[in-house]
Structure 1
Amino acid sequence: MINLKRTIYLSLVAGGLIAGGAVLQACEDEFLDRRPLSDLTTANFYTSAEDALAALNAAYDPLQWDVHSRMDWIIGDVVGGDTDKGSTDDQDYIQIRQFQYFTATAGIAELNEWWSQSYDGVYRANLVLERVPPIEMDEALKARILGEAKFLRAQYYFDLVKAFGRVPIITSVLDPEEVFVPRPASIAENWAQIEQDLRDAIEVLPASYNGADVGRATRGAAQALLAKSLLWQSTPEGCSETPWATQDQYQEVVDLTDAIINSGNYRLVQDFESIFLLEGENSPEHVFSVQGVGGTGGWANENDGLALNQWLSPRTADISGWGFSTPIGPNTPANYGGNANIQVNNIYEAFEPCDPRLEYSILEPGDTINGLVYDDTWSRSGYSIQKFLIPEDELTGAANSPLNIPLIRYADVMLWNAEALNELGRTEEALESLNAVRRRARESMEGATCPQPVTSVSQAELRDIIIEERRRELAFEGHRFFDLVRTCRAEEVLNAMGRPFEAGVNELLPIPQAEIDRNPELQGDQNPGF
């Protein structure tokens, strides 16, 4: 790609959000590498292909911030029951425990960060979509840039909708007096906007990239996010009184996932462990990932390194992690954190002992990390997450890991394919995709004897099997809570574990109180129960 090496500073305004000093940057070796050399103003920007690419690169930047480095695991894994908040005691970062036991209120700062950072991304995508079309430049490149921006806008809106339900739809750059936008009357309007952006992106995005552009949104990424969005709107027959699913939606999920499977651009890599190491970044397993570039700044939103390693690594004098989000297992102390039921249906025992994914996903006493033997005193639950932990000498400072965070893996696509086929009544076909994922898991470690293929089962039985397979395959990747919610399992599963989930309330997070206070159009329209 073009070597831009530019920085501009803009005032960002989106849906009541004002984020001054946001940075648009470009790259030399990787398209998100931040090396500012000169400042520009909006008066002389948006005049060239280089400007268009710089603006687009800035629209990728919020993906690196807290939603995917922190909130995905807090809500997906801790609230989803596969992990505990971890760290040294219940009071350290007590906000996570508030999420975990559904006592978080609308005033908690993390909610406002999720909302504001996602809308920052929406605003940056809108800037590209509004300011790039008039630029005189190669039309094919322009079309691709606009397709990437639409994909990104859809991703940011998906992040918002999965957390908050109905959210204000902003598809243009608004003047300050226009920024107070209400939530739509129906969440269907949000889904329609996401779907349209992704359908548009599919038409123009390339199948793959080369060189420094690897990691950008591809046609396959847009197809996958569209399939995910369609599944998110669906619930199995009989699971709720008003399932949104239609046979047409499930058929489109099959068509989209089949297109990805048949494209030849993706595959299940043989070495499962490598998916979560630097050597496996942007492999054919990764359909779309948050790109990490270590050593490019100071802290949090000021660098292009990612904080996930810092949050999850064991908390001990020999390792730099904070030890949050610790898996629950049979050796977790009884009545841990005051919850006598915390070991019920725990993630450790969800794996068969001979499943290699157990070893690759969970650290337990006797395992080795950074040349040290893992000690159960390094975690109050007795376990730590193995995924995403890279050697200390590969880090570039606190909360500054170069390791990418996968948002969509090919295994995810295969399991969506199985899920949709099963809902269409094509259960035997669904077993093919499911068993491909299980076979890779077994063959990823020499001598492993499981998981064995699933043979003939009923449609209802396969529903449960697929959700449990997602739990094992995608453990600690931020999916569990959202899978429980969208399949109407959350109340049964979480209450049994001592997590007081209330149906009709806890499927969504509260709209941030700070946003309600600043936006009169949101007042009186809080999510139920808050």
Structure 2
Amino acid sequence: MKKLKYFIAIVTMVITTSCGDKFLDTDNLYGKSLDTYYSTPTDIEEAMAGVYNAIYTPGVHSEETVAANLLSDMMLGGGGPDDKSAKYVDNFEDPDEDTYRDMWTQSYNGIARANAIIEKTATADFSTFFASTEEAEAFKNQAIGEALFMRAFFYFRLAKFFGGVPLIIAIDDPKDVARATYTETYAQIASDLKLAIETMPDKSFTEISTSEYGHANKWVAQAYLGRAYLYYTGYMTNIEGQATSDLPLADGGSLSASDVSAYLEDCIQNSGYALASDFRNLWPYSYVNQSAGSTVLPWAETEGLSWVGQDGHSPTFGTGNYETMFVQRFSFGDWGWSNGNSYTNRYVLYSGIRDNSMTPFGQGWGWCTVNPTLYNNWDDADPRKQGSILETGEADQGTASFEAGKGDHETGLFNKKYSSIQYPDEEGTVVGMFVQLYDWSNTDMQLMHAQDFIFMRFADVLLMHSEITGTADGMNAVRARAGLPAVGYSLDAIKQERLHEFAFEGLRWFDIVRWGDVETAFNGTIDVTNSGIPATYSVNYRSETKGLVPIPETEVRLSNGVYQQNPGW
């Protein structure tokens, strides 16, 4: 597995040494600064690693994946009696005044690092490091375009959760600026994505080397432009009551639906990405039946599943993965590291079945239990139902030994896509799947989850294209992959398709907000058990929040009145 290597100390040092006046007249002979850094391809690669590192957050509620799934109508807080924060977030209460602060600070760390790459790479000369001028120029364009994309990625993450945020788009920009408006923030996001598309090389995914997996490219930027378009226009229309079909640009222009659909069409036709043959082969549970020379998950073997892996078009697993476009890559943690557990996939850990260690599904904290309404309203003929939802007490699912009553908000249903996977090794010891695949020494169940979290996959490009154009081709391609018949286009059909295709992938919350469905999504009560005791549960969504979470109170105080708290918090 190709992992990004993050050089946090180097990048942090580069940024901090750029501030203030020089304290000494002598030259810095050992450290790196903005005057000397960004001058070699190695410098750029290290700095880019620092940009990607900012995706990771020490606080678990600041992880986009965990926060978005807890907020959605598909999942409940869960956990045990002491896991109050998950229940608060799920019920739209703020468990701590800085619940989401790590998301805020890490996003701005990433933005600052991207700003430095954008500015310094533009004037750098890399010609002596490559065999031709064309190669040097391609490297420079990829670096600048990739940094533009990542800046847009971080601003988009901030905007989805917090709304309008301070825009700092140059190294020397003041850091104490007021929050931009919602529209101004999205104009910057759209402009960065558009320029990233125009700047990065026009290289098919099939031409990308394994060393580049995990990095953004032109096609990823096109896909995110589609996502930003749908979210902005939907939010403004259905939440703010200011109907629009255009995505603004920072220079005063805008992108229309036809402009954005053209980008998506280019991605569909020329990117080299494609749907996996079977939706279920995208998830690690489809691999376990091939491991250790034994049948671990009978259902997966019976269905003839074969995991495509998470290293792109590498044929290590089956035919390779051509569907996954952009991910948060995870490795293994270690308790001796600073924030050592933030580099393992905590969504997998926290949403795993509470205090139940089975084969192949290992234990977790029991957060994010699945709303039975989703299960009950999902057609059994759709293979994505069993491909997404893990039922307990089912022998063919490997959950026959499940012991109920160990968690709260138990419904007997858990997330199968991102769940702890384990099986016996050659000595018969039950060990985590990724620990075995990548030969990691620490087998701690809290640190063993190296499953990528998929931010963008090709199926979303097809569904976004259908939604923007009002046509059914992309939607029906996704349905055909699931063995379902074609249907005519309607917004309701798109809503159902996205619900079933992307369950538990962190998109549902943002979909129901932009569609204006968030206020009706939490009607009714749900039958659950809390530590074995039957109970009912309901969510108290507050419409005055407009689908946003609170600005971290520490940031509000530090701004000395420049930031105003979001309504409802």
TM bracket (short chain): 0.7 to 0.9
Provide the secondary structure at the position in 2 that maps to 1:56: helix
Amino acid at match of 2:364: G
Contact 2:47 2:117 in 1 (8 A): yes
Amino acid at match of 2:451: L
Q: How much has 1:140 moved relative to structure 2?
A: 2.2
Instruction: Work out whether 1:136 is the aligned partner of 2:125.
Output: yes
Amino acid at match of 2:262: D
Q: For this pair of structures, how many residues does the alignment match?
A: 464
Inter-CA distance 69–470: structure 2 relative to 1 (3 Å threshold) = farther
Q: How much has 1:48 moved relative to structure 2?
A: 1.5
Q: How much has 1:65 moved relative to structure 2?
A: 3.3
1:314 — aligned with what? 353
Contact 2:57 2:63 in 1 (8 A): no
Summarize deviations over 1:65-117 as a string: whole Å, max 9, x none.
3689964344422221101111123xx33122112222227x53321112111
Q: How much has 1:40 moved relative to structure 2?
A: 4.9
Q: Distance in 1 between matches of 2:58 and 2:469?
A: 34
2:415 — aligned with what? 385
Summarize deviations over 1:299-350 as a string: whole Å, max 9, x none.
6844643322211221225234222111021xxxxxxxxxxxxxxxx21123
Q: How much has 1:474 moved relative to structure 2?
A: 0.2
1:255 — aligned with what? 262
Provide the secondary structure at the position in 2 that maps to 1:116: helix
Inter-CA distance 121–157: structure 2 relative to 1 (3 Å threshold) = same
Give unmatched runs, 5+ long, in structure 1.
19-38, 330-345, 423-429, 443-450
Instruction: Work out whether 1:244 is the aligned partner of 2:244.
Output: yes
Q: Distance in 2 between matches of 1:501 and 1:4?
A: 40
Inter-CA distance 350–153: structure 2 relative to 1 (3 Å threshold) = farther
Contact 1:4 1:50 in 2 (8 A): no
Instruction: Work out whether 1:195 is the aligned partner of 2:190.
Output: yes
2:459 — aligned with what? 411
Q: Distance in 2 between matches of 1:419 and 1:297?
A: 45
Which runs of structure 1 show a deviation greater than 6 angstroms over 4 or more consecutive aligned residues?
Answer: 3-7, 67-70
Quick check: 288-297 or 144-153, which moved more? 288-297
Q: How does 1:240-319 map to 2 (within 5 A)?
A: 241-246=241-246, 249-277=256-284, 279-281=308-310, 282=312, 283-294=321-332, 301-302=339-340, 304-318=343-357, 319=362
Contact 2:7 2:49 in 1 (8 A): no
Q: How much has 1:229 moved relative to structure 2?
A: 0.6
Inter-CA distance 308–359: structure 2 relative to 1 (3 Å threshold) = same
The percentage of counterpart residues that share the same residue type is: 27
Q: How much has 1:260 moved relative to structure 2?
A: 1.2
Amino acid at match of 2:76: D
Contact 1:64 1:292 in 2 (8 A): no
1:30 — aligned with what? none
Instruction: Work out whether 1:83 is the aligned partner of 2:113.
Output: no
Contact 2:79 2:354 in 1 (8 A): yes
Amino acid at match of 1:226: L
Instruction: Work out whether 1:453 is the aligned partner of 2:507.
Output: no
Q: How does 1:319-334 map to 2 (within 5 A)?
A: 319-329=362-372
Contact 1:307 1:400 in 2 (8 A): no
Q: How much has 1:362 moved relative to structure 2?
A: 0.9
Q: How much has 1:521 moved relative to structure 2?
A: 5.2
User: Among 345, 359, 363, which residue is 2:386 paired with?
Assistant: 359
Amino acid at match of 2:169: T
Contact 1:292 1:404 in 2 (8 A): yes
Contact 1:296 1:305 in 2 (8 A): no
Instruction: Work out whether 1:500 is the aligned partner of 2:536.
Output: no
Amino acid at match of 1:452: P
Inter-CA distance 231–12: structure 2 relative to 1 (3 Å threshold) = farther
Provide the secondary structure at the position in 1 that maps to 2:258: helix
Q: How much has 1:293 moved relative to structure 2?
A: 2.9
2:160 — aligned with what? 162
Contact 1:362 1:385 in 2 (8 A): yes
Q: Distance in 2 between matches of 1:299 and 1:322?
A: 22
Q: How much has 1:9 moved relative to structure 2?
A: 3.7
Give unmatched runs, 5+ long, in structure 2.
20-29, 127-135, 248-254, 285-306, 313-320, 423-431, 526-537
Q: TM-score, with normalisation over the residues of structure 1?
A: 0.80
Q: Distance in 1 between matches of 2:59 and 2:160?
A: 12
Inter-CA distance 100–13: structure 2 relative to 1 (3 Å threshold) = farther
User: Among 11, 19, 37, which residue is 1:45 paired with?
Assistant: 37
2:112 — aligned with what? 123
Q: Once superposed, what is the RMSD of the aligned Cα atoms?
A: 3.1
Instruction: Work out whether 1:97 is the aligned partner of 2:87.
Output: yes
Contact 2:326 2:454 in 1 (8 A): yes
- Larger Cα Rg: Structure 1 or Structure 2? 2
Q: Distance in 2 between matches of 1:276 and 1:55?
A: 31
2:558 — aligned with what? 518
Provide the secondary structure at the position in 2 that maps to 1:384: strand
User: Among 98, 101, 108, which residue is 2:97 paired with?
Assistant: 108
